[in-house]
Structure 1
């Protein structure tokens, strides 16, 4: 079932763009979460001689922050994509100057 927008059905290109954006959001959110875990848990454990209790606390805090960072990144990427789609910010290629060094398309 194809969802419709205010202007009718979505084209295959629009559906493909959404699929790519969702994939990008998931991958980038995973990278951010892994970086948070590395910075909060792996880094201190490798750098310092910590007790088991301290390591457990770092693991809980790191996993919690990683989950929050994952969700924030995922929502941010998808929200920006949706806002860009809703406002129609995609500019046609003709908006660029035709000659290098020119600041206006009609120059």
Structure 2
């Protein structure tokens, strides 16, 4: 593997930040969606409340990890000029330079 350019390092930094921020938002929403109905609408005892919070935390953690992996897993193929389904992008997006030959 060769040395990366500054632009490639910057792109990876931005992509990592995007992955972490969107994963944190998704985890927060997942936690709220799992825990809020049970905790706000039902009168739960101590053990049931602990169980609901445990399930909510676990689900939020899984959602966080899944989002980070999903975003970072597809990043290299987008850099090589491929669509998200893995097929080459005929428009050449993702590659530097002109995509059409000069007339």
- Please classify the TM superposition score into its range, dividing by the shorter chain length: 0.7 to 0.9
Matched ranges for 1:22-37 at <5 A = 22-37=16-31
Q: Report the Cα distance in structure 2 between the residues aligned to 1:72 and 1:15, rounded to whole angstroms.
A: 23
Matched ranges for 1:28-107 at <5 A = 28-85=22-79, 87-89=80-82, 91=93
Q: Report the Cα distance in structure 1 between the residues aligned to 2:52 and 2:30, rounded to whole angstroms.
A: 11
Which TM-score applies when normalising by structure 1? 0.71
Q: Runs of at least 4 residues of structure 1 off by over 3 A?
A: 92-95
What's the C-alpha RMSD, in Å, of the aligned pairs?
2.2
After TM superposition, give the deviation of residue 88 of structure 1 in Å: 2.5
| SS of the residue 1:35 aligns to | helix
Which TM-score applies when normalising by structure 2? 0.74
Q: Report the Cα distance in structure 1 between the residues aligned to 2:77 and 2:62, rounded to whole angstroms.
A: 22
Structure 2 runs not aligned, ≥5 long: 83-91
